[in-house]
Copies of this chain bind each other. A is one copy, B any other.
Amino acid sequence: MQAEIIFTGNELLLGEVLNTHAQYLGRELSAQGIEVKLHTTVGDNWAMLKKVLQSALNRSSLLIVTGGLGPTDDDLTKETVADLLGLDLVMDGQTLAGLEDIFARRGVTMPKNMKKQALLPRGARIFPNPVGTAPGILLQTGGKTIILLPGPPRELKAVFEGSVKKYLASVAGRGMVMRSKLFKLTGISESQVQDKLRGVQTGENTNISYVAMPGEVHVRVTGRGENEQQAQKLVDDLSVQVSARIGGYVFGVNDEMLEQMVGRLLASRRLTVSVAESCTGGLVAKRLTDVPGSSRYFLGGVVAYSNEVKIKQLGVPREVIARFGAVSDETARLMAEGIRRVTGSALGLGITGIAGPGGGTPEKPVGLVYIALAGDRHTNCRQYRFPGQRDGVRSGAANASLNMLRQFILQVT
């Protein structure tokens, strides 16, 4: 089943509003095995909308249209679709009664223009809107399916979750189902990832895609099959090959957030952690405390941006910084051990590096970061070279730090 999504509204074209429907519907339809070929955003313009709808109907079997179902004059989606398909608009008694009921319960008179929302193209089926006044609408004609959804994000989601999802599952079942696995990598650039995966063969129903963002590269392995099992098997088989080549850079899989995983591990093992940060400047502490309930395992941190703070607050000897530099294996280890001692936590992280854009030298270039983890027996330290700009280096270092913590807990405890 091939689909297109059409978003309507001048506010989207003008950039007044961020189009979050595109992500939400794109993800939901893909999960159902429905292939989305195109997104189109069109203003509140009758002629343009009609043209866009006509082209989409020629190409695709399923059309989802968002917005323009409200009571005001610039809401014209229903009217345009009805006109295109040669259908009358008829007053739907049940919908009208529902609208009147909503206003009666609010204790206010229903504005006249509200009635417009109970006008439906002849033959339409309703998807109820539990949180607003404009229902979703289903039209089927000549092998094509058109679904109209209200524009406000809260209403769109409520209608979609409440009934459209189930409807799509019932009709989409015969198409190909899609499954995917997301690998999140750090410490490597997008093109280096692609170099490493060059030999991996993808077939007609499998795909590997890449997205680069500051401090991370996402690799998504996708499989399509007649059913879930078949699609999943393709994903699993391909993932084994992908993992073998880039596994060392992976810090997370699918949508699980590293800070949440780390938090669960720390809490379940009754371990505590503290963080001494230089180049990440508070980012690792911030991410650990993004998680509700993190006070159970996160004791605190020191942002040791200046050398004096490293010396006074963390007890790093002045001579070590003078001899090896603030960005060194030695300093990172002493920072990790210092914060652990100072807070009394079971584990201590120490992070020091050169985030850039300034401060780099040929020996210690921008992107060089040392991350140390101190436990009760010994301290590990690893050297990284993160590609990209300041935000990429900092995000990469935070990802690597949290991942080091995760791996340590899994291995040692």
Contact = CB atoms under 8 A, between A and B. Distances in A.
A301 B282 contact: yes
Contacts of A190: 70-72
Nearest to A392: B154
A27 interface: yes
Interface string A31-73: 0000011111111100010001001000000000000001111
Interface stretch (A138-146, A191-199, A235-243, A316-324): A191-199
Nearest to A180: B14
Contacts of A52: 38
B20 A18 contact: yes
A286 interface: yes
Contact of A26 (B15, B288, B301, B362): B15
A365 interface: yes
A408 interface: no
A16 interface: yes
B10 A209 contact: yes
Contacts of A113: 191, 194-195
A70 to B, nearest CB: 7
A366 B107 CA distance: 10
Interface residues of A, number: 106
B152 A212 contact: yes
Contacts of A189: 111
Contacts of A167: none
B40 A27 contact: no
A290 B215 CA distance: 14
Contacts of A39: 7, 12-13, 39-41
Interface in A236-281: 275, 277, 280-281
A363 to B, nearest CB: 10
Contacts of A300: 302-306, 309, 313
Nearest to A214: B154
A407 interface: no
Given A15-B24, A23-B19, A389-B131, A308 B195 contact: no
Q: How many copies does the complex hold?
A: 2
Contacts of A83: none
Contact of A303 (B73, B74, B106, B301): B301
A362 B17 contact: no
A70 B280 CA distance: 28
Contacts of A114: 191
Given A15-B25, A38-B52, A303 B285 contact: yes
Interface in A344-360: 344, 356-358
A97 to B, nearest CB: 18
A362 B16 contact: no
B295 A306 contact: yes
Contacts of A304: 300
29 contacts: A10-B207, A12-B39, A15-B23, A15-B29, A15-B30, A16-B23, A16-B26, A18-B18, A19-B19, A37-B43, A38-B40, A70-B191, A71-B190, A74-B209, A111-B192, A113-B191, A131-B389, A152-B213, A280-B286, A280-B289, A281-B285, A282-B282, A282-B301, A285-B303, A290-B394, A292-B357, A292-B358, A300-B302, A302-B303
Given A37-B43, A282-B284, A300-B309, 7 more contacts: A19-B23, A37-B42, A55-B55, A71-B191, A295-B306, A302-B313, A306-B343
Shortest beta-carbon contacts, A-B, top 5: A281-B289, A15-B26, A282-B285, A15-B27, A282-B282
